[in-house]
C-alpha cells in the first residue's frame, strides 16, 4: 500500500507519528476468563505453573481460518489479534527455545525451573476468592532473569516414572506412558509424590488433623562456581516451616546439593489454603519457589 501510494504521485508525503505508550495500572493480572484452581489429579504439583502475556496479542493467522471463529465469516487474514492461553503459551515456548539456545546442556525440567523460580509474583485478581498462586502459579515470566537463575531444580525421565509409580500406576500403565519396560521401586508410595524435584512445593492434607509434611529437593548450581546460598521462608501464622540445611555452599558449576523442607501444621479447618514461599539467595540470584498447602 505504501509503495503503490508512493508510485502514484510525483510528490508523495508521509508523516511518522511518535508512538503512544499506555500504562495499564492493573497489569499484569490474570484475566478472569483464564483457567484457575488446583491440580485435582496430582495435588502435589502446583498448577498453573506460570503466567505470560495473553491479551490482545497480534500474531500470524491462518488465511483459511475464520478470523472471527464464525463459520459464516469468509474473511481471510494473515494476521489477527487474539486473547487466551493459546496466545500466552507461544511466549513461554519462545522463551524456552531462547533459554535452550543460551544453555544447550539444560534439560527441559531445568529450563522450566529457570522460568518458574525467576517469575515475578503478581497481584491477585479481585473477581475470585482464591490465593494468587491458583491464578498465576509462580508468577509473571521474567525472560531476562530466567537466563541466569543461579540454581535449577532438575528432573530426569526416571524421576517422572518413579513419580507415576508413587501415584499408584502399575507397570503396564507406566509403560503406556514411557514406551519402555520399567520396574517400579518396591518403596513406591503416594506420600513420595511430593518428592518429585519440582520448582514449587504443594501438598493436600486432611482437615483438622495435625500434620508434618517433608519434601526432598535437590538444586544444581548454574550460577557462580563458588557461591553460598542462604534460605528465607515467608512466614505463615498457620504453619511452622523448617529447611535443613539452611545454607548451601557450592565449589563448582553443575554441583548438586539436597535439602529437606518440612511444614508442621495444627488442626486446620476444611477449605483452607496456606500459601508461602521459599527463596535461596546468594546475594545476586533469588531462586524462588511457591509453597501451597491445601486443606
Rounded least distance, CB 37 to ligand NAG, Å: 15
Closer by beta carbon to ligand NAG, 107 or else 188: 188
Closer by beta carbon to ligand NAG, 62 or else 216: 216
Query: Cα angle at 237 between 233 and 240, to 5 degrees?
Result: 55
Closer by beta carbon to ligand NAG, 76 or else 127: 127
Closer by beta carbon to ligand NAG, 44 or else 146: 44
**Applying CB under 6 A, which residues contact ligand NAG?**
3-4, 7, 32, 127, 170-173, 180-181, 192, 195, 216, 240, 258, 260, 264-266
**Terminal Cα distance for the chain, rounded:** 61
- Written in H, E and C, the secondary structure of the chain is CHHHHHHHCCCCCCCCCCCCCCCCCCCCCCCCCCCCCCCCCCCCCCCCCCECCCCCEEEECCCCCCCCCCCCCCCCCCEEEECCHHHHHHHHHHHHHHHHHHCCCCCHHHHHHHHHHCCECCCCCCCCCCCCHHHHCCCECCHHHHCCCCEECCCCHHHHHHHHHHHCCCHHHHHHHHCCCCCCCCCCCHHHHHHCCCCCEEEECCCCCCEEEEEEEEEEECCCCCEEEEEEECCCCCEEEEEECCEEEECCCCCEEEEEEEEEECCCCCCCEEEEEEEEECCCCEEEEEEEEEC
Rounded least distance, CB 250 to ligand NAG, Å: 18
Rounded least distance, CB 216 to ligand NAG, Å: 4
C-alpha cell, 114: 529457570
Rounded least distance, CB 195 to ligand NAG, Å: 5
Rounded least distance, CB 253 to ligand NAG, Å: 23
Closer by beta carbon to ligand NAG, 100 or else 175: 175
Q: Which residue has the cell 493467522?
A: 61
Cβ atoms of 199 and 289 within 8 Å: the answer is yes
Closer by beta carbon to ligand NAG, 10 or else 180: 180
Closer by beta carbon to ligand NAG, 95 or else 213: 213
For 117, phi then psi, to 5°, come to -75, -15
Rounded least distance, CB 18 to ligand NAG, Å: 27
Rounded least distance, CB 173 to ligand NAG, Å: 5
Rounded least distance, CB 276 to ligand NAG, Å: 13
Closer by beta carbon to ligand NAG, 3 or else 101: 3
Amino acid at each position: 500500500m505504501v509503495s503503490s501510494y508512493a508510485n502514484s504521485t510525483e510528490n508523495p508525503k508521509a508523516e511518522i507519528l511518535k508512538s503512544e505508550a499506555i500504562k495499564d495500572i492493573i497489569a499484569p493480572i490474570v484475566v478472569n476468563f483464564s483457567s484457575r484452581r488446583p491440580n485435582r489429579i496430582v495435588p502435589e504439583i502446583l498448577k498453573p505453573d506460570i503466567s505470560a502475556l495473553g491479551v490482545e496479542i497480534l500474531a500470524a493467522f491462518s488465511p483459511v481460518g475464520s478470523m472471527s471463529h464464525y463459520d459464516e465469516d469468509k474473511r481471510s487474514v494473515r494476521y489477527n489479534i487474539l486473547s487466551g492461553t493459546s496466545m500466552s503459551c507461544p511466549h513461554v515456548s519462545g522463551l524456552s527455545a531462547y533459554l535452550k539456545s543460551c544453555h544447550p546442556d539444560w534439560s527441559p525440567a531445568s529450563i522450566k525451573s529457570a522460568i518458574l523460580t525467576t517469575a515475578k509474583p503478581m497481584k491477585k485478581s479481585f473477581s475470585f476468592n482464591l490465593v494468587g498462586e491458583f491464578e498465576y502459579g509462580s508468577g509473571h515470566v521474567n525472560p531476562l532473569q530466567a537466563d541466569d537463575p543461579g540454581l535449577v531444580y532438575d528432573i530426569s525421565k526416571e524421576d517422572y516414572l518413579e513419580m507415576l509409580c508413587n501415584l499408584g500406576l502399575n507397570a503396564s500403565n507406566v509403560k503406556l506412558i514411557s514406551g519402555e519396560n520399567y520396574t517400579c521401586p518396591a518403596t513406591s508410595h503416594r506420600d513420595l509424590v511430593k518428592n518429585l524435584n519440582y520448582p514449587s512445593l504443594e501438598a493436600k492434607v486432611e482437615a483438622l488433623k495435625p500434620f508434618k509434611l517433608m519434601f526432598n529437593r535437590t538444586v544444581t548450581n548454574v550460577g557462580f562456581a563458588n557461591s553460598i546460598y542462604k534460605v528465607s521462608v515467608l512466614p505463615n501464622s498457620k504453619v511452622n516451616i523448617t529447611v535443613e540445611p539452611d545454607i548451601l555452599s557450592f565449589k563448582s558449576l553443575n554441583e548438586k546439593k539436597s535439602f529437606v523442607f518440612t511444614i508442621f501444621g495444627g488442626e486446620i479447618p476444611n477449605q483452607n489454603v496456606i500459601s508461602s514461599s521459599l527463596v535461596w539467595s546468594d546475594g545476586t540470584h533469588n531462586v524462588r519457589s511457591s509453597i501451597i498447602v491445601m486443606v
